[in-house]
Amino acid sequence: MKTIAVLTSGGDAPGMNAAIRAVVRTACENNMRVLGIRRGYNGLMAGDMYEMNIRSVSDIIHRGGTILYSARSPRFNSEEGLKEAIEVCKANSIEGIVVIGGDGSFRGARDLSIRGIPCVGVPGTIDNDIACTDYTIGYDTALNTIMDMVDRIRDTTESHDRCSVIEVMGRHAGYLALNSGLAVGATSILLPEVDFNVERDVIERMRRTQKTGKKHFIIMVAEGVAESMKTQGINGVGELAKLIEQRTGVETRATVLGHVQRGGSPSVKDRVVASQMGAAATLLLKEGKGNRVIAMRKEEIVDYDIYEALSMKKSIDLNLLKTALEISI
């Protein structure tokens, strides 16, 4: 291939810039032209792009967010939207695209690939919820951000003998809540993958630890448990905090960490993995290979067919949850 493009799509994640940098510099070293597409598939349909070179990506490896910006694009999923995108590719001599994002972004890459524009997906999402890979770009940084924020909340929680209910991202996956919950010693961890009962899994656990002299508590909640809580008559973490206070007598506060989890300078791991994945994706396109997804398996960079990758399932580590709960008493 002589000309490729790169875009970021969906939610931003720390390390995306490192991946962009790797794509651009690997392409330049292999005598390929690179176009940076702004704002994901919206930008592709609109032809919003510019030519990049090795200096275009100087001093970005340490920056959070994405210099190409990102967006969600429902219109791209229509035949009309895909047709526009393909016409733009042809008009700009784009022979392949590196797509950095999550499952939704990969479905767009698949749709372009089967219509003659080879694409390679690079997993970028803080949720770590892409089944084909052990690790997604942004996950480590987000975990460390959560840990740092909760450590700060713990200072005031402990000072006042309070309970803090903390909601973290993870609409469909509890990896952030599970691993950060273990890291901060949460008394209870509520995940969308695991059935739970507030009375049994929160109230009774708190009462049990109160008997041993514990006076302050952290309850970690993935945002995806909201629907399960509603079936128990609880509408969000604010109401959960009120219920805990009523049932245990412990003053309780709720905190939603929100988009702070997506920001910040990427960790060493995210910079390294993003660089590896971006380079690998570019080399696949150089070889004329598309309809692939880059992944990490047992610390090795591998690639899968997009159809295979999207059909895979990922499960939560129940042994890790068991360990977290056993040692947080």
What is the set of active-site residues?
127
Beta-carbon contacts of residue 40 (< 8 Å; ≥ 6 apart): 7, 8, 9, 10, 69, 70, 71, 72, 73, 101, 105
Residue 326 in contact with residue 305, Cβ under 8 Å? no
- The residue with tokens 């892409």 is 130
What is the amino acid identity at position 253?
A: R
Output the furthest CA–CA distance in the chain (Å, rounded).
71
The two beta strands, 292-297 and 300-305, are: antiparallel
Helix (H) or strand (E) holding 227: helix 226-230
| DSSP states along 116-162 | T--EEEEEB-TT---TT-S--BTHHHHHHHHHHHHHHHHHHHHHTT-
Q: Give the count of beta carbons closer than 10 Å to the beta carbon of residue 208.
A: 12
Rg of the chain over Cα atoms, rounded to whole angstroms, equals 22
Beta-carbon contacts of residue 138 (< 8 Å; ≥ 6 apart): 12, 13, 14, 15, 16, 124, 125, 126, 262, 266, 270
CA dihedral 276, 280, 286, 290 (to 10 degrees): -140
Q: How far apart are CA 277 and CA 271, in angstroms?
A: 10
- The residue with tokens 């398996």 is 297
Helix (H) or strand (E) holding 6: strand 3-8
